[in-house]
């Protein structure tokens, strides 16, 4: 089963029809499409729910975006679809939202948590170069440059175009929220005590979230972390190495 749903409140894609449930939250600049190449390699035992957050893709923005607001949105979508006994997976910004969502969803917490190149729960400082982009909105040249800087593998033309188009689709208010607030927000005190098995997937060559940051600023805030390091990709793991990611997801979900 593959179904794309766009309602007034939710935007998501369902792939598969298996008994094992997986919920995925994309990175800043992505959408549900960011996962497609990995999801098509997943076991037939898995049903994947890939979320497009408000303000990304074709989805209208939130009036007042926040990490909490996005976490609540994900939990409400999961509950509305009757997903129980599920694994929650997030990439970069999506991983930060996933941690918060797992913490506040007391009645239907995920059984496992997968964090891919996670944005730091303590918040991330904005460099002077990045600060130049805060007040504006990306154009095509900026989008191409940013994607190439974030990845260590050269993306094929059609996948680069996909990533560029997704970055350009970020709504202006959402763009400014992330740079001014979301990326810098410290949620570390609000996610301590997560007691489900947690899997961190990161990249040795990630120029955005370094291995040092993972060890110092991510792992100490997780109760039961298992870490996997990919050696030949950068920050955009679902785009750079979708087959390898799918293989790891299958192992986590079926294990």
For residue range 48-76, list pLDDT tens digits in order. 999 999 999 989 999 999 999 999 999 99
Structure token digits, residue 175? 């763009």
The whole-angstrom separation of Cα 167 and Cα 31 is: 9
Summarised one tens digit per residue, pLDDT across range 130-172 is: 676 666 778 899 899 999 999 999 999 999 999 999 999 999 9
Average pLDDT estimate for 211-217: 96
The pLDDT assigned to 32 comes to 96
Question: pTM for this one?
Answer: 0.95
Residue 58: how many CB atoms within 10 A of its CB?
Answer: 10
On average, the pLDDT of the chain sits at 93
Neighbours of 63 (CB within 10 A): 8
Q: Which residue has the tokens 């941690």?
A: 99
Residue with tokens 């805030």: 221
Structural domain boundaries, residue 113: 2-254
How many domains, in total, are found in the chain?
A: 1
Closest CA to 84 of 101, 107, 51: 107
Taking only the tens place, the pLDDT of each residue in 173-186 is 999 999 999 999 99
Distance of CA 36 to the CA centre of its chain: 13
Dump pLDDT digits (tens) for 70-101: 999 999 999 999 999 999 999 999 999 999 99
Q: What's 40's domain CATH number?
A: 3.40.50.1820
């Amino acid at each position: 089963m593959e179904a794309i749903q766009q309602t007034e409140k939710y935007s998501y894609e369902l792939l598969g029809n298996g008994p094992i449930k997986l919920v995925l939250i994309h990175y800043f600049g992505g959408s549900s499409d960011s996962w497609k190449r990995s999801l098509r390699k997943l076991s037939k035992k898995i049903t994947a729910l890939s979320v497009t957050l408000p303000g990304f893709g074709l989805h209208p923005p939130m009036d007042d975006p926040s990490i909490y607001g996005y976490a609540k949105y994900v939990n409400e979508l999961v509950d509305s679809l009757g997903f129980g006994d599920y694994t929650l997976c997030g990439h970069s910004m999506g991983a930060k939202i996933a941690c918060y969502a797992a913490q506040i969803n007391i009645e239907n917490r995920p059984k496992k948590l997968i964090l891919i190149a996670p944005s730091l729960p303590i918040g991330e400082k904005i460099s002077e170069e990045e600060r130049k982009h805060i007040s504006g909105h990306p154009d095509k040249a900026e989008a191409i440059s940013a994607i190439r800087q974030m990845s260590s593998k050269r993306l094929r033309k059609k996948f680069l175009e996909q990533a560029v188009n997704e970055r350009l689709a970020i709504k202006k208010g959402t763009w400014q929220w992330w740079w001014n607030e979301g990326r810098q927000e410290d949620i570390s005190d609000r996610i301590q005590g997560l007691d489900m098995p947690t899997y961190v997937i990161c990249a040795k060559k990630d120029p955005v979230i370094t291995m040092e940051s993972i060890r110092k600023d991510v792992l100490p805030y997780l109760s039961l972390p298992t870490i996997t390091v990919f050696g030949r990709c950068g920050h955009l793991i679902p785009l750079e190495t979708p087959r390898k990611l799918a293989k790891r997801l299958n192992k986590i979900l079926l294990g």
